Structure 1
Amino acid sequence: MDNSQRILDQPLPIPTSQPKKKRTPILSFFSKVSWKLRFQNQEPLKNAFFTLAERARDPNAKKRHLAMRGLGAMACEAPDQVRKYKKMMLDLLVYGLYDPVSLEVIYESVKALTIILGKIQGKCLGSFFIDITLQTRTLLDDDNDGVRYSAFVLFGQLAAFAGKKWKNFFTNQVKQTQDSLLTHLQDRNPHVAKACKTTFQACSPYLRLKKDRTFQGEEDQRNSKLCWQLSHYHPELLQFFYANKIL
C-alpha cells in the first residue's frame, strides 16, 4: 500500500483557473490547519475539524477542495478525531464525492475516503456504503488518470467491507462494473492498470455464478470456476476470453 499512498498523495494533474492572488489567503489558512494537526492538542484539533467542516460546504470550490484535503490530512494525523467524528466526516466526504462542479473536490474526497475507510476498517458505514459505491463506480472510467486510480483503490476497499449486509447490493454493482474492470486491466496508465488488477481480484468472489442445480449445467459451473481462477492468476487472459466471447 506504500506505493498506492504515494500516488494518492500526488496533486491532481488538472489545470486550475483560479489566479494565484486569490489562492494565497486560502492556502495560508489551510497551511495553519495542517500545522495544528501535527503540533497542537485536542482542543485546537476539534476547532480545526469544525472549521474544515464549514469550509467543506463553502460556495467557493477552491475552499471545498482544500477542506477535503484537510479532512484527509486529519484522518492520517489524528485517527482519534476520525473515530470521534466518523459519521460527520463521512457525510462531508460523501457530499464532496458528489460535487457538481469541481473534479478536484471529488478527487480529494475519494482519497480522504480511502484513508478513513482504512482507519475504521469499513465498520458502521451504514447507508454511506451505498452512496460511496454508486458514485465511485462512475469514476472508474473518468478521463483523469488520478481520479481513475483513486476510484479503483476505493472500489477495491468497498469489496472487502461489503460484508453480509451489502453483499447482494455490491454483487449487483460489480456485475454492472465488469466491463470497466476488464477494460482497465490494460489501462494506458500502468498505475491505474495495477490498481485495477488488484481491485479485480478483490471483486472476483462477487463475479462467481451461483450454482443452481436446476438451471445450471456442468459446463456453466466449469466456466464459473475457470473465470474465478483466471481472475486471480491471469486477469489479462480472462480479458482476452471475454473480449472474444470465448467465455
Structure 2
Amino acid sequence: MSGRVVDENLEIAPLVTIYDKDTTEIGKTDLDGYFEIELPKETKKIIFAGLGYEWATITIPNECKTPEIILFLEYTYDFMSSKKIDRLRKKRFDKLTELHFQTFKKGLFKTDKPCVTRNFEPYKPELDRIAKLLNKQAKENKNDFKNLEIGDSVKIPFGLDSSEKRISTHYSPCKNCTEKDYDYVIEGEIINKHSRKLTLEIKITEMKPYDSLKYNGKILTVGSDFKYEMKYFEVILDK
C-alpha cells in the first residue's frame, strides 16, 4: 500500500514515522512525503507521527488503496483553557475535506477526497489530567516553601540539555524524589525568600562533578548565589 503525506499548509511532510495500532514502526515517508507500507491484515488503524506535527490516527477501509493524509502542525497554545484549545483545533479539523481537495488541485494528491476515516481526538482529557497534577504539585510546593527558613539547606535538581555544561529546570516527575531521579543536583543554603513564584535565593555550597555550570545566562560555581522558582519545580528536602 502506498500513499502520501502533506501538512495543512499544503507542504510536503518528509520523514514522518508510521506506526501500527501497537505503536510498532511499519514505515516512514520519504523526502517527498511518499510512503509505502505493508499493512498487517489485522491492522485497520495506523498512526502518523512527525516532528512538529500533531499525531494522527487513521482508519484505512479495505477499499482505500491510496491513503493520502494531511497532518496538522503542532501549535503552542499559551494561556488558553483546554476547552478553547480543542475548539480551535476542531475548527482546523473540520476543514480537512476542503484541504484535501485543494491538495488535489495543487497536484500533490491523486484523489479529490480522502478515502481514510479519521476522528477528531480532543486534547482536553490529557491537558486536564496534567493541569490537575501541576496544581497538586504547586499546592505541595507552597506548603514546603512556607516551612523553609533562611539558613536551611536544600538540594535543587536540574536536567542537562544538549549544550555541554548548561543546565535547565525539570518538571518534577514525582514528589520527594531522590538525587538519583535527576541528571544533576546542586546543594545550597537559603539566603532569602520571595513569595512571588515561591522564589528561593540560594548560595551554592556544593556542586559535583563540574566546577562551574551555566544557568539562565549566569556561570554558577561554589559560593555563587542564584534564584530558583519552586512553584512548579521540585526541591529535594532532607526529611
Structure-2-length-normalised TM-score: 0.25
Report the structure, 1 or 2, having the larger helix content: 1
Q: Which has the larger radius of gyration?
A: 2
Structure-1-length-normalised TM-score: 0.24
